[in-house]
Structure 1
């Protein structure tokens, strides 16, 4: 059994996890008094709003999961066989909740980011959503502000230092997780992976351009992909992705490293499938003679 305790928001500064949460917020987070609208405000003003942006665009400190049914607290603490969340923010009118899990080691989305870490984060989050019966379309842009008296906020026995992704992954059914190649288009951090993968190929094709030229070229492309999501990423998150791709493509060793990557992929493919050179030649000859691609 996990003990939970309702927070007295008049003295929230005395609650270690809430102090840590506020310290980790962006300096100027998106925030709002109502759904479907947001504005940027300084942190000291934003923490007075009803909804708030939980993570800075460059890193993820917290996994936030949205449960749109009245059994959310029981699901989080007993049914799902997951570690307890650090914070539970409940709507008193319908008992819907946001669950907040602090990460021991933040996952950097761009700059210091590594793609495998972002994909791992997306997969773990996906598995947690499935186990909790949570809203898979929740984008995590804005969450119920745990400091707002509109909500009931609870703390649990979760460790203040947070959970590692490796630890959380032990509780997730791996059969439910999408592979790294599958796009989790409208689900949590899967959008970041998908947007990066869709946009970067356009940058690779223009790798001789300058950094500024690439940013100018890739921005509308990334925005177009982003607008196809049910819940688009914030504009500053899109720009971080674009700038990350532009920085990589304008590195002096980009052509050489990209060539090495292609050669590595080719070697891996040959190890798995064998050398297909002769097969490719045969297919081209058949196509030249008018054989349909489906038949080939």
Structure 2
């Protein structure tokens, strides 16, 4: 790819760093160490060794954290595609590598679930292949724009399907982990997101009136934190806050629409129930009338045909010939003759 573009490494590094900077959140989390975080504009945050790479509701980079002294060798031996960038700790050799997604995956409240689950499965598979740090959730990552780390840049980007081609998502260690629980960072994110948003719907249905936003967000956060505690490796608090904020904002914004839809649904169901009841009674009445008419028509038809059946039988016609001539079944002829003899 580098040769086809005919770019020097310096040109590539400038391009990749520009892409990374442009994709940063406007006000990312950042820090001089892992022990605390602050929020600053990305212009100031880019000078911090640690920074939030992905937007809270948009995944542009798939990041894996490898906490091994020979992490670079692990990456080289992994048979995975070339990362977009690699940030290496100059002291202990630990690194983080990231693959840029050609189409960013939205993780907001009203996003499609299938791309998020697909990305979570890939994330789990890559972490398994690289023996990545499963507690890493990419909320605070090594800053690839900072000279504190030894950084390598490559002009690469991939679709989800291209990334998936390098791993087997059907393996137990990949797909099951990603689908269920707490080994994959994105898997934990999706699990909390899915369960908490459904609980938010129930909370809207049960609410007597619309609360204040801060109170509503606190309730959603409490629900998310309760779910997060169930993981053997919980997510960082900032990640849980981002999930809760996303759910709270959307449900609060759409509160009136939710209530309106639920009221309409109840009204429609009530009307349908009433109509269904009337139809049921009408059908029962119609069925009774129809049954009586059918019995009358059947008895008249039998009286007309029985004499013909008896006459033809006396002339030694067999049952099949009688049935074909009178356009009735042979079994009916047999039953009528048996009844006439008894």
Deviations 1:180-207 (A, max 9, x none): 9943225311122111233233223234
5+ residue gaps, structure 2, are: 266-342
Pairs within 5 Å for 1:165-244: 165-174=160-169, 175=171, 176-179=173-176, 182-185=179-182, 187-208=184-205, 209=207, 212=211, 215=217, 217-226=219-228, 230-234=234-238, 235-244=241-250
Contact conserved, 1:88 with 1:155, CA < 8 A, in 2? yes
Pairs within 5 Å for 1:153-164: 153-156=151-154, 158-159=155-156, 162-164=157-159
Pairs within 5 Å for 1:55-204: 55-77=54-76, 79-111=77-109, 113-156=111-154, 158-159=155-156, 162-174=157-169, 175=171, 176-179=173-176, 182-185=179-182, 187-204=184-201
- Provide the alpha-carbon RMSD of the alignment: 3.2
Contact conserved, 1:28 with 1:40, CA < 8 A, in 2? yes
Contact conserved, 1:25 with 1:54, CA < 8 A, in 2? yes
Q: Mean Cα displacement is larger for which, 230-239 or 208-217? A: 208-217
Q: Quote the Cα distance in structure 2 between the aligned partners of 1:74 and 1:189.
A: 25
Which structure: larger Rg?
2
More helix by share: 2
Query: How far 1:236 sits from its partner (Å)?
Result: 3.1
Match of 1:273 in 2: none
- SS of match in other structure, 1:140: coil
Q: Quote the Cα distance in structure 2 between the aligned partners of 1:49 and 1:185.
A: 29
Q: Quote the Cα distance in structure 1 between the aligned partners of 2:25 and 2:110.
A: 17
Pairs within 5 Å for 1:256-295: none
* TM-score using structure 2 length: 0.64
Contact conserved, 2:121 with 2:179, CA < 8 A, in 1? no
Q: Quote the Cα distance in structure 1 between the aligned partners of 2:24 and 2:199.
A: 33
Query: How far 1:12 sits from its partner (Å)?
Result: 9.1
Q: Quote the Cα distance in structure 1 between the aligned partners of 2:141 and 2:211.
A: 34
Q: Quote the Cα distance in structure 1 between the aligned partners of 2:111 and 2:119.
A: 12
5+ residue gaps, structure 1, are: 257-296
Q: Quote the Cα distance in structure 1 between the aligned partners of 2:159 and 2:237.
A: 25
Q: May I ask how many residue pairs the two structures share in their alignment?
A: 249
Contact conserved, 2:54 with 2:60, CA < 8 A, in 1? yes
Q: Quote the Cα distance in structure 2 between the aligned partners of 1:91 and 1:238.
A: 32
Q: Structure 2 vs 1, CA of residues 86 and 206 (structure 1 numbering), >3 Å: closer, same or farther?
A: same
Q: Structure 2 vs 1, CA of residues 114 and 202 (structure 1 numbering), >3 Å: closer, same or farther?
A: same
Match of 2:17 in 1: 18
Q: Structure 2 vs 1, CA of residues 111 and 152 (structure 1 numbering), >3 Å: closer, same or farther?
A: same
Query: How far 1:34 sits from its partner (Å)?
Result: 0.9
